[in-house]
Amino acid sequence: MNVIRVAKALLWVGIVLFITPVYAAAQKINTSYISTTPGSSSVIWVAKDAKIFEKHGFDATVIFISGSVRGIQAILAGEIPIGEGGGPGLASARLAGGDVVAIAGNINVLPYYLVSHPSIKKAEDLKGKIGGTHIAGTTAEFALKVGLKRIGLEPAKDVSLRVIGGAIDRMVALQKGIVQFTVVTEAGKAIAEKLGYPTVVDMAALQIPFPQNGVYTSTKLIRENPDMVRRYMRAYTEAIHFFKTRKEDTIKIMSKYSRLDDRKTLDESWDWHAKFIPEAPFPPVEGYQLILQDMAATNPKAAQANAKDLVDVRFVKELEDSGFIKNLYKK
């Protein structure tokens, strides 16, 4: 009887070891997030604070890099091996010959809103006004241009756009009267409305396919250390599960990194992102195609580029095919 019990125990240990990889020593890694608003970057925060990176063999340092373009530039410079960025920055980098590729998509629609000074009652009233934007090539800058075009305004001639910076800086500029309107995500919209700045264009409702935020790395790293990328994506996908299924714990982490304690804003942001962040975070090929089409007007290389070349879906596909993602949501 004792022999049988021992055998069963050993079998169980073997199963656990097979299912849960054991890493001899944690690998140090710098990884980045591109926004301090309590939104899609929260997945990185969760992976760090819920010790999910640690579970998958990483001693991770999470670094804030303002804006999707700078996020991509940090990867190109070798400062960040794997981190956040946005679609327009990736497309620009690849067309210029840069070694960077999307391996995950976090928010795959254009989740932006145009908010304005209370004196602006409707979208058409934006004509002739000054808008606050981010640096060229960022998702916020792209979204602002798309939003203006959707209401019949030409960004280059019907409004004046002023480069302000990140979401918080743009909101401050709106408050100070430096600009009369700007572009924000769901979290920014909640803050703007609380301050009395109404939404005049809701681009999220249009469901425009777009890689607003995702995970990026180099093809060199994928080629030389695929296991590192694979473990990172396991951690990232598990962090998505934590985000979507453990609201209270996630909101505490969101509050810590965003330095916001307004429960209504945090609730609304979590509700929206829990709905739109996918369980299987495939990078959206159709969204990259939209970006290339937009860029083709000024960059001939974009017209010849194939959106499929900008993404590498193998790691998410492995997680989906192996049942890893499905098993997360069974618990």
* 200 φ/ψ angles, rounded to the nearest 5 degrees: -105, -20
pLDDT tens track for 114-172: 999 999 988 889 999 999 999 887 888 988 988 898 889 999 899 999 999 988 899 99
Q: What is the mean pLDDT of residues 258-287?
A: 94
Give residue 2's pLDDT band: very low, low, confident or very high (50, 70, 90).
low
pLDDT at 147: 87
pLDDT at 122: 87
In angstroms, rounded to a whole number, what is the distance separating the alpha carbons of residues 56 and 16? 15
pLDDT at 23: 58
> E strands of the chain, at which residues?
27-33, 58-64, 82-85, 101-109, 113-116, 130-133, 160-163, 181-184, 199-202, 209-217
pLDDT beyond 50 at 230: yes
The pTM score is: 0.80
Q: Are strands 160-163 and 130-133 parallel, antiparallel or unpaired?
A: parallel
Give residue 67's pLDDT band: very low, low, confident or very high (50, 70, 90).
confident
pLDDT at 13: 39
In angstroms, rounded to a whole number, what is the distance separating the alpha carbons of residues 89 and 206? 22
In angstroms, rounded to a whole number, what is the distance separating the alpha carbons of residues 96 and 81? 19
Q: What is the mean pLDDT of residues 45-50?
A: 98
In angstroms, rounded to a whole number, what is the distance separating the alpha carbons of residues 79 and 182? 31
Q: What is the mean pLDDT of residues 96-125?
A: 93
pLDDT beyond 80 at 16: no
Per-residue CA distances from 9 to 3, 6, 16 (Å): 10, 5, 11
pLDDT tens track for 235-250: 999 999 999 999 999 9
**Averaged confidence pLDDT in the chain:** 90
pLDDT beyond 70 at 9: no
The three-state (H, E, C) secondary structure of 239-297, written as one string: HHHHHHHCHHHHHHHHHHHHCCCCHHHHHHHHHHHHHHCCCCCCCCHHHHHHHHHHHCC
Q: Identify the weakest region by mean pLDDT among 60-74, 86-100, 182-196.
A: 182-196
Helices and strands: H and E segment counts in the chain = 16, 10
pLDDT at 5: 52
Q: What is the mean pLDDT of residues 30-45?
A: 95
Phi/psi region, residue 196 (left: phi>0; alpha: psi -120 to 50; beta: rest), is left
The answer to whether residues 270 and 247 touch, using CB atoms and an 8 Å cutoff, is yes
**Angle, vertex CA 228, rays to CA 223 and CA 234, nearest 5:** 120
Give residue 11's pLDDT band: very low, low, confident or very high (50, 70, 90).
very low
Domains parsed from the chain with CATH numbers: 25-107+210-328 (3.40.190.10), 113-206 (3.40.190.10)
